[in-house]
Amino acid sequence: MSPRPWRLITASIITVAAATACTAGGQSPASGGPKADAPQTIEVWHGWSAPHEVKAFEDAIAGFHRLHPNITVKLVKGQDDTKILNAIRGGNPPDVVSSFSTNNVGQFCSSSALQDLTPYLKKDKVDLNLFPKAVQDYTQYRGDRCTLPLLADDYALYSNKALMKGNPPPKTISQLTALAKKLTVRNADGTIKVAGFMPSETYYEHVPEHIAGPSFGATWLTAQGRADFAADPAFTKYLQWEKGLLDWYGYDNVKKFIHSMGQEFEASNPFEKGKVAMAIDGEWRTKFLQQEAPKVQYATTPTPVDDARANTYGGGFVTGTIIGIPRGARHAQASWEFVKYLTTDTDALVTFANGLGNVPSTIPALASPNLDLPPQFKTFLDVFKNPNSSTVPSTINGGDFIVKFQSFVQEQWEPGKVTNLRQGLQGLDKKVNDALQLAGG
């Protein structure tokens, strides 16, 4: 998959999802449409658009054509959640959709925009233990499994071997902090020439969900589905660490350094240019380094963890692409055969993973000898299946709680506008919970 962080999803998705729930009627039954063995064409919408991505998808479904010669698959590239939800709301959906936005699973399921796949899974006796626990979690909402996983992303620490100067990659937050300071090189005026590690959440993938949960054990929502940032000491510990290291660099210095950086997904990325010694990033960076900076010698290791949680080292943040069958799909049974094949067939997943440089999303595919990925990719395979890996929960209004938390960090906490952290987090809790209540969650 192209790296498209779901933190960029806007509130407009929430509005569309709510409208979908109100206007499109009930969910199609599992028995709807022609039988799977009848001649038919199914339309599949997906978000990939680059030529190599489109080819990877075509290669992955070659086996499906051989198994089901009666089913013609029409692939439609470059589709996002807004287009998907508008089509469902308008009563003219495709037969299968994939999305890069796991945080929208709550919206998809609660509105019945995507069908509950449980009847299909039970009918064909599909064992959900094919998928790691974190993956099982992010493909359902309150017991409604309206999606299945289609490849995955996870996160780990990249270390530039030349800039590390013989130091081993850190395993704990205290080691990371000490190395970040030791490896940082400043210009004569105190500004940053080479950063050991950038603590600001405005640095690409250094967002709270990639660090606060996996490293500090933060729990994003309570068992009742409500924010409780103020009461969870892990959030306080994470924020104090982040701000402490940011202040060591100097807030203005960090802003200046970040403003001087290249684009995340271009060859000007500062890690690829030797401007950052250590960075948390997704598995796709191995492909970018291979293509854009082949001379950079680097290592990948799991994300460092809070020293008090050293026994959880090896996990990380996990997310991925999801796939499902829209309400109103006209070829539901054939669509299920397609979804089942693409999400459970080891050869299809390995072919897809090799083509995109992503993590295959089943345990058998993770162990396949046919995976053809660089040595540094092994870290991501290990993180993906590690029981300490985690994701963020889905809600009825998507990633709104993440967006609000990030805004609090970026606009108030990092600039030093918060004088009382507990009170600030209590105010954030209220904003998040008011929004959830308004959305009907």
User: How high is the pLDDT of residue 398?
Assistant: 81
Q: To which H or E segment does residue 12 belong? A: helix 11-23
Q: To which H or E segment does residue 99 belong? A: strand 96-99
Averaged pLDDT for residues 405-409: 97
Specify the CATH number of the domain 154-312: 3.40.190.10
Structure tokens at 61: 């479904």
Averaged pLDDT for residues 241-270: 94
Averaged pLDDT for residues 290-317: 96
Q: Is 6-153+319-385 a CATH 3.40.190.10 domain?
A: yes
The model carries a pTM of 0.86
Least confident of 23-32, 82-91, 409-418: 23-32
User: How high is the pLDDT of residue 312?
Assistant: 98
Please say if the pLDDT value at position 41 is more than 80: yes
SS3 395: coil
Please say if the pLDDT value at position 27 is more than 50: no
SS3 273: coil
User: How high is the pLDDT of residue 440?
Assistant: 77
- Cβ contact 84:36 at 8 Å: no
Least confident of 4-8, 153-157, 276-280, 392-396: 4-8
pLDDT tens track for 92-145: 999 999 999 898 899 899 999 999 999 999 999 999 999 988 899 899 998 999
The pLDDT mean for the chain works out to 91
* Closest-CA residue to 149 (of 332, 333, 322, 329): 322
25 — pLDDT class (breaks 50, 70, 90) = very low
Please say if the pLDDT value at position 148 is more than 70: yes
Structure tokens at 14: 């929430």
Write out the residue limits of the CATH 3.40.190.10 domain(s) in the chain.
6-153+319-385, 154-312
Please say if the pLDDT value at position 2 is more than 70: no
Buried b / exposed e across 315-344, counting CB within 10 Å, b at 16+? bbbbbbbbbbbbbbbbbbbbbbbbbbbbbb
Rounded Cα distance between 218 and 242, Å, is 14
Q: What is the DSSP string of 404-441?
A: HHHHHIIIIITTT--S-HHHHHHHHHHHHHHHHHHHT-
pLDDT greater at residue 393 or residue 23 = 393
pLDDT tens track for 175-187: 999 999 999 999 9
Please say if the pLDDT value at position 335 is more than 90: yes
Biggest CA-to-CA distance, the chain: 73
Q: To which H or E segment does residue 364 belong? A: helix 363-366
32 — pLDDT class (breaks 50, 70, 90) = low
